[in-house]
Amino acid sequence: MHGKDVKLKRILENGKTVIVPMDHGASNGPIAGIEEIDSAVSKVSNATAIILHKGMIQKIAVPRCGVIMHLSASTSLSPEPNRKVLVGSVREALALGCDGVSVHVNLGSEFEAEMLSSLGEVSAECEELQMPLLAMMYVRGKNVASFDPDAIALSARVAAELGADIVKCPFTGDVETFKKVVRGCGVPVVVAGGPKMGSDLEVLKLAEDAIRSGAAGTSIGRNVFQHANPTAMVEALRAVVIGRKRAEEAISLLSNSATQETLNATALSQRR
């Protein structure tokens, strides 16, 4: 077993994963849900992995879930917010004890070549140091729709071709077209959560459709850490992604009167 495989087992639980990205502060500042990062992380440590930038990783207590260090950044104040640049390295992630790194790429943007070059550089370093790589692939150009199934399939395959171990991309809108994305990728695919959704059931149905499509799981941020009970939301997502429950069944975990502490204790006992 290679070192990368050992780390991947921290992120993928029996081949499935519920990731909670919490790197939003680098682009939008201290938004609701992640103002106090240590407290925010403690509420979602029943996920299989979280995503943070290096500065926040240094501030949190060691969670029981996997930790992925995000290496890309840009801010909402930039005149070029779609231009993601590298702000960290694989060696820094290793020094912090992380289980993986992630890189953001916007295909179709005028900065595509620069971001693909960065992805290639990080991929080579990940292979050398045996660090799992998650590629966040988005289609954001003037001449292509962001949710075009063919473009999303292309973006996922590009990530796999360049060495990503896990690919994160938006859902295409239906199971059949997303099956083509998954089949054509060749490495585990996780579905991005996107903007805040209208209901919990909508979030869980997204997860259910992702699993029906053959995806490895979800990478959902705002719809988890901005939830009234992030711990329960993670458990509901785990029920769909890992437990293969339907969204309508998993929603009961959110209406249950159990306290957050009880949910945490149950999740911990199931992992022992």
Rounded CA-CA distance 157/146 in Å is 16
Residue 57, class by beta-carbon neighbours within 10 Å (0-12 exposed, 13-18 middle, 19+ buried)? buried
Catalytic, out of 7, 43, 168, 245: 168
Catalytic, out of 7, 16, 23, 54: 23
Please, what's the b/e burial string for 106-142 (b: 16 or more CB within 10 A of its CB; e: otherwise)? bbbbebbebbbebbeebbebbeeeebbbbbbbbbbbe
Is 138 marked active-site?
yes
Is 179 marked active-site?
no
String of DSSP letters for 37-103: HHHHHHTSTTSSEEEE-HHHHTTSPPPSSEEEEE-EE--TTSS-TT--EE---HHHHHHTT-SEEEE
| Cβ–Cβ < 8 Å for 121, 154 | no
Is 7 marked active-site?
no
DSSP 147: T
Catalytic, out of 7, 138, 165, 200: 138
| Pairing status of strand 85-86 against strand 72-73 | antiparallel
16 by DSSP, 3-state: which? strand
Please, what's the b/e burial string for 32-44 (b: 16 or more CB within 10 A of its CB; e: otherwise)? ebbeebeebbbbb
Rounded CA-CA distance 42/142 in Å is 40
Residues forming the active site: 23, 138, 168
